[in-house]
Amino acid sequence: MKDVLDTFIKNLIPGKPLVLFLDYDGTLDDFAPTPDDILPNPEVIKIMERLVSDSKIHPILLSGRKLEHLRALLPVDKLCLAGTYGLEIQPVDGTLLMQEAYDTIRPTINRIKPVWQELIQEDAAFFLEDKGWSLAIHGKFVNPETSQRVLQEALHAATPLIDRDLFQIIIDEKFLEAAPILANKGNAVLFLVKKFGYENMNYLYIGDDEKDELGMQAVQCLGGSAIKVADTQVKTTADWYLENPQAVRVFLNSLPGKI
Amino acid symbol at 224: G
DSSP string, 163-176: -TTTEEEEEETTEE
* SS3 at position 228: strand
Strand partners, 144: none
Which residue's beta carbon is nearest to the bound Mg ion? 26
- The secondary element (H helix, E strand) that includes residue 26 is none
In angstroms, what is the minimal distance from the CB of 250 to Mg ion?
A: 18
In angstroms, what is the minimal distance from the CB of 23 to Mg ion?
A: 4
Could you say which of 177, 209, 213, 239 contacts Mg ion (CB under 5 A)? 209
Question: CA dihedral defined by 39, 45, 47, 48, rounded to 10 degrees?
Answer: 120
Judged by CB under 5 A, the stretch of 41-49, 68-76, 97-105, 209-217 that binds Mg ion is 209-217
For residue 165, CA distances in Å to 124, 137, 181 come to 33, 22, 8
In angstroms, what is the minimal distance from the CB of 143 to Mg ion?
A: 23
In angstroms, what is the minimal distance from the CB of 32 to Mg ion?
A: 11
13 to 32: interface string for Mg ion, x by CB under 5 A: ----------x-xx------
Which C-beta is closer to Mg ion: that of 6 or that of 173? 173
Q: Do residues 215 and 189 lie in contact, with contact meaning Cβ atoms separated by under 8 Å? A: yes
Judged by CB under 5 A, the stretch of 7-15, 66-74, 171-179, 205-213 that binds Mg ion is 205-213
- The secondary element (H helix, E strand) that includes residue 57 is strand 57-62
Could you say which of 29, 88, 177, 208 contacts Mg ion (CB under 5 A)? 208
- Summarize as ranges the residues that interact with Mg ion (CB under 5 A): 23, 25-26, 208-209
